[in-house]
């Protein structure tokens, strides 16, 4: 019994020292995404890049012990596009990771990247997804704090075929 307890104690102490169990200072940046947000969005649509605007709401909540923030978005009214964004920090790869899921688009988007050395609250991530023709596109997202609170998200999609090559979303504090 004593030998078994010693083995369990050693395993637990080793797990506590593992790099993936600790929180990094970058996890503190995630708190900036927590809150109730009014969202104003601009999209440049189609090959002629016609400007389209939508407004909506978002709620950011800290989940899983503060390791991630889940942002639930709804653009274009109660029947509009619904999405989920999970933002976290990978302590092994030492980079931010973003998962984007939406009801309108069944392909999940995974992006990875880093914070700016000069502005640690400004995060740039990139990834890819297949376009409608099956070609891989490159996606770039940038998160930056807004002067009066909240944050901005700018997206660029580099693809042979894309419906929305650029978008800008402003997440402003509600109220």
Residue 162 structural domain: 23-173
- Assess if residue 10 is contained within a domain: no
- Assess if residue 17 is contained within a domain: no
- Assess if residue 13 is contained within a domain: no
Distance separating alpha carbons of residues 82 and 104, to the nearest angstrom: 7
- What confidence score (pLDDT) does residue 84 get? 93
- Assess if residue 151 is contained within a domain: yes
C-alpha distances (whole Å) from 170 to each of 92, 103, 120, 153 are 31, 21, 19, 6
Give the CATH number, domain containing residue 126. Answer: 2.40.128.20
- Assess if residue 9 is contained within a domain: no
Distance separating alpha carbons of residues 56 and 44, to the nearest angstrom: 17
Residue 83 burial (CB count, 10 A): 18
Q: How many domains does the chain have?
A: 1
- What confidence score (pLDDT) does residue 162 get? 56
Q: Is the dihedral of CA 6, 10, 11, 16 positive or negative?
A: positive
- Assess if residue 156 is contained within a domain: yes
- The two tokens of residue 7 are 């083995």
- Assess if residue 14 is contained within a domain: no
- What confidence score (pLDDT) does residue 35 get? 92
Written as tens digits, the pLDDT of the chain (175 aa) is 556 655 555 445 544 555 556 788 888 888 889 999 999 988 887 777 788 888 889 999 999 999 999 999 998 888 888 889 999 999 999 999 999 888 877 778 888 999 888 888 888 888 877 666 677 777 888 888 888 888 888 887 776 555 666 778 888 888 6
- Assess if residue 29 is contained within a domain: yes
């Amino acid at each position: 019994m004593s030998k078994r307890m010693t083995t369990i104690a050693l395993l637990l102490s080793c797990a506590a020292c593992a790099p993936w169990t600790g929180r990094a200072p970058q996890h503190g940046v995630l708190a900036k995404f927590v809150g109730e947000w009014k969202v104003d969005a601009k999209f440049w649509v189609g090959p002629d890049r016609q400007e389209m605007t939508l407004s909506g709401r978002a709620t950011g909540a800290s989940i899983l012990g503060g390791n991630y923030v889940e942002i639930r978005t709804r653009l274009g009214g109660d029947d509009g596009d619904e999405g989920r964004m999970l933002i976290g920090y990978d302590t092994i790869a030492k980079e931010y990771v973003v998962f984007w899921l939406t009801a309108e688009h069944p392909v999940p988007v995974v992006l990875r990247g880093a914070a700016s050395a000069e502005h640690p609250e400004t995060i740039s991530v990139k990834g890819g997804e297949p376009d409608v023709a099956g070609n891989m596109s490159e996606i770039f997202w940038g998160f930056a704090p807004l002067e009066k609170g909240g944050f901005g998200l700018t997206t660029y999609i580099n693809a042979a075929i894309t419906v929305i090559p650029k978008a800008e979303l402003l997440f402003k504090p509600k109220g």
